Amino acid sequence: MKIGISNDHSAVEMKNEIKKYLEEKGYEVIDYGAQTTESCNYALYGKKAAEAVVNGEVEKAVLICGTGIGISLAANKVKGIRCAVCSEPVSARLSKEHNNANMIAFGARIVGIEMAKSIVSAWLDAIFAGGRHQQRIDTIE
């Protein structure tokens, strides 16, 4: 499975750690994020990864900025994206089970690297429940 990853300047180090973590788990990771800590616009990086999901370049994507909020808002502007900000694994799991989130976001200034790995794992391991949850997603779409 191909997974996109994107970030702003505040999350270069965390992005690199999560990218390595995903590759060690056997995923192919496509990097759409900032490569340096020079100040940049998170919205551009969120949109780039979101478009990659919608266009089928990748199946899912992980976004990281300072809080996870700004980059997720940018991603959610792209039709077909359901990006949830998660600061712990339970929300990450439920974002997939109930909302079929095709992207998640978190903050490099909010969670540590081990929590970030737990969030990513919970989301990737979760399975969409369908049923009444699909009806709700249809309403959102």
Q: CA 16 to CA 34: how far, in whole Å? A: 10
pLDDT of residue 70: 97
Q: Determine whether 65 is an active site residue.
A: yes
In sequence order, the β-bridge partners of residue 2 are 28
If DSSP codes are grouped into helix, strand and coil, which group holds residue 65?
strand
Which of 9, 40, 65, 86 is flagged as catalytic?
65
Of 71, 53, 60, the residue nearest 107 (C-alpha):
71
pLDDT in tens, the chain (141 residues): 999 999 999 999 999 999 999 999 999 999 999 999 999 999 999 999 999 999 999 999 999 999 999 999 999 999 999 999 999 999 999 999 999 999 999 999 999 999 999 999 999 999 998 888 888 888 888
Instruction: Name the pTM for this structure.
Output: 0.95
pLDDT of residue 133: 85
pLDDT of residue 61: 98
